[in-house]
A and B are shown apart, each in its own frame.
Chain A
């Protein structure tokens, strides 16, 4: 069956999540859930020189939420914290290769929200409305 939303790549990341699990000694961790869906994502980061040196995630939920989390961990490894702060919905949609539509967009953006919570938390900066409203 061809599915518009569930491209092979999304299912692959869902089935075989990259960077899944715990980091030894993370510098920062953040966790959030989407109460409507029950999607849960936790991100753990190693940070040095203002960069994401290592990152892992844990979570439970739908394929969209878990695949986007896994893809995001790959995409931000080595990126500066400023670059991560500058990421938004288009970056996630580009990684997924689809727009999941208005009913599922929060599933796709939960990982980015958690990632940003971690980065802002690490920097000791206040989290803006635009982050809170991602998912």
Chain B
């Protein structure tokens, strides 16, 4: 485990991540795609392995030692996550597969019970498809309307549109805390206040924020928040829906089946209390345990330190990228207003070509539309290349990226 430090020592942290020792194309891996999924430290890998090696059993039912241990570990993970984002109660943490499932759960269960014809759902143009499509499905079914808050030239949400679009008809406002393309950190407290003023609920897509900065759901005062374990050092297949107790209690179930029922009769059934009402079937036990270990690891470092480290790397990356000829950066120019996500295009090189050239140098970046086609359309570009940073990234890696970009520019020069 890492001890509490004043700042992050990335060199030491890297020791905890076995994959970072890998060579790709005879070069040391430079992993700059943590916004897609983060790498995993030994402590997470070991926690998962230990569960399968030492106490694998189903949870919540078995009356024997292994089942008891598995249940305890599963529920301890829930407590860790609850503390991590400062919920009022542990039962406000619902385990899902990922952010996408958490958002779908909300649109399905809360949405179908609370959104009707003529109602309005307010999103933003920078949402990930997973925070757009479930609401479009709901709107189509119910005859509701979906509207999108646009961004300004700096890649920040237009506050005049926030004020304009949220109105008496609005039932829910769903906003990403941090953009997975632009890196923009949105003023979600303020947006939430506007939503609540009109009696609308406020949902935060926290997939790009919870892994990278302190997030306190009570302070934000959101009604729902969703995030994924695999973007925060945990395994894939485990995600989180946070919901305020009053809403989780009144919402109908999502999936039906085992684990989520109180009683089942041929004449009808009744449900358990949240969060179990929303967790039908055997859960992802090892995933939850892995996520719990990831949260412990992050808490030991301290999320303020995580955020500061990424800001420093991002500031450095922005400074260096600005000096690359013909390179266009998208999103806020100020590193303080961003998470560690930097999208760019280099001249007229297609982002897939750029990603292939960087891959030859051992650099992993993301290219494409980043599941944000409405944003790409708004920016009038087909795609971007995206570098994203985490606790294990260093300024030296940014240097390697810059060197490879210069090479690509020369290669593609006429």
Q: A5 with B369: in contact, given A62-B350, A107-B352 (CB under 8 Å)?
A: no
Residue of A nearest to B367 (CB): A37
Give the docked Cα–Cα distance between A132 and B294 (Å). 43
Partner of B369, one of A38, A100, A107: A38
Given the complex, which residues of B lie within 8 Å of A23, measured CB to CB?
A: none
Give min CB distance, B364 to chain A, whole Å. 12
Which parts of B321-357 form the interface with A (CB within 8 Å)? 349-350, 352-353, 356-357
B166 lies within 8 A of chain A by Cβ: no
Q: Is the interface of B mostly helix, strand, loop or mixed?
A: helix
Q: Which among B356, B357, B360 has the greatest number of chain A C-beta atoms within 10 A?
A: B356
A15 lies within 8 A of chain B by Cβ: yes
A6 touches B357 (CB 8 A): yes
Residue of B nearest to A38 (CB): B382
A84 lies within 8 A of chain B by Cβ: no
B350 touches A3 (CB 8 A): no
Give the docked Cα–Cα distance between A129 and B130 (Å). 31
Which parts of A30-73 form the interface with B (CB within 8 Å)? 36-38, 60-64
Give the docked Cα–Cα distance between A3 and B353 (Å). 11
Give the docked Cα–Cα distance between A70 and B349 (Å). 17
In the complex, number of A-B residue pairs with CB atoms less than 8 Å apart: 45
Q: A63 with B353: in contact, given A1-B407, A36-B368, A37-B368 (CB under 8 Å)?
A: yes
B414 lies within 8 A of chain A by Cβ: yes
Give the docked Cα–Cα distance between A54 and B388 (Å). 47
Given the complex, which residues of A lie within 8 Å of B411, measured CB to CB?
A: 1, 3, 6, 11
Give the docked Cα–Cα distance between A69 and B49 (Å). 49
Interface size band for B: 10 to 19
B360 touches A62 (CB 8 A): no
B382 touches A60 (CB 8 A): yes
Q: Which among B352, B369, B383, B411 has the greatest number of chain A C-beta atoms within 10 A?
A: B352
B352 touches A3 (CB 8 A): no
Given the complex, which residues of A lie within 8 Å of B382, measured CB to CB?
A: 38, 60
Residue of B nearest to A101 (CB): B356
Given the complex, which residues of B lie within 8 Å of A61, measured CB to CB?
A: 350
A104 lies within 8 A of chain B by Cβ: yes
Given the complex, which residues of A lie within 8 Å of B353, measured CB to CB?
A: 6, 62-64
Give the docked Cα–Cα distance between A63 and B354 (Å). 10
A3 touches B368 (CB 8 A): no
A63 touches B350 (CB 8 A): yes
Give the docked Cα–Cα distance between A38 and B380 (Å). 13
Given the complex, which residues of B lie within 8 Å of A4, measured CB to CB?
A: 360
Give the docked Cα–Cα distance between A107 and B352 (Å). 9
A3 touches B357 (CB 8 A): yes
Given the complex, which residues of A lie within 8 Å of B356, measured CB to CB?
A: 5-6, 64, 100, 103-104
Residue of A nearest to B409 (CB): A1
Give the docked Cα–Cα distance between A37 and B373 (Å). 12
Residue of A nearest to B352 (CB): A62
Residue of B nearest to A61 (CB): B350
B410 lies within 8 A of chain A by Cβ: yes
Give the docked Cα–Cα distance between A48 and B368 (Å). 40
- The proximity string for A residues 87-110 relative to B, scoring 1 for CB distances below 8 Å and 0 otherwise, is 000000000000010011001000
Given the complex, which residues of B lie within 8 Å of A64, measured CB to CB?
A: 352-353, 356
B52 lies within 8 A of chain A by Cβ: no
Give the docked Cα–Cα distance between A61 and B382 (Å). 9
B198 lies within 8 A of chain A by Cβ: no
Give the docked Cα–Cα distance between A11 and B350 (Å). 12
Residue of B nearest to A64 (CB): B353
10 smallest A-B Cβ distances: which pairs? Answer: A62-B350, A38-B382, A1-B407, A62-B352, A62-B353, A63-B353, A1-B411, A5-B356, A37-B352, A38-B383
14 A-B contacts (beta carbon < 8 Å): A1-B407, A3-B411, A5-B360, A6-B356, A6-B411, A11-B412, A37-B383, A38-B369, A38-B383, A60-B382, A62-B352, A63-B353, A63-B412, A103-B356
Q: Other CB < 8 Å A-B pairs besides A6-B357, A61-B350, 5 of them?
A: A3-B411, A4-B360, A6-B356, A62-B350, A103-B356
Give A residues with C-beta under 8 Å from B.
1, 3-6, 11, 15, 36-38, 60-64, 100, 103-104, 107
Give B residues with C-beta under 8 Å from A.
349-350, 352-353, 356-357, 360, 368-369, 382-383, 407-408, 410-412, 414
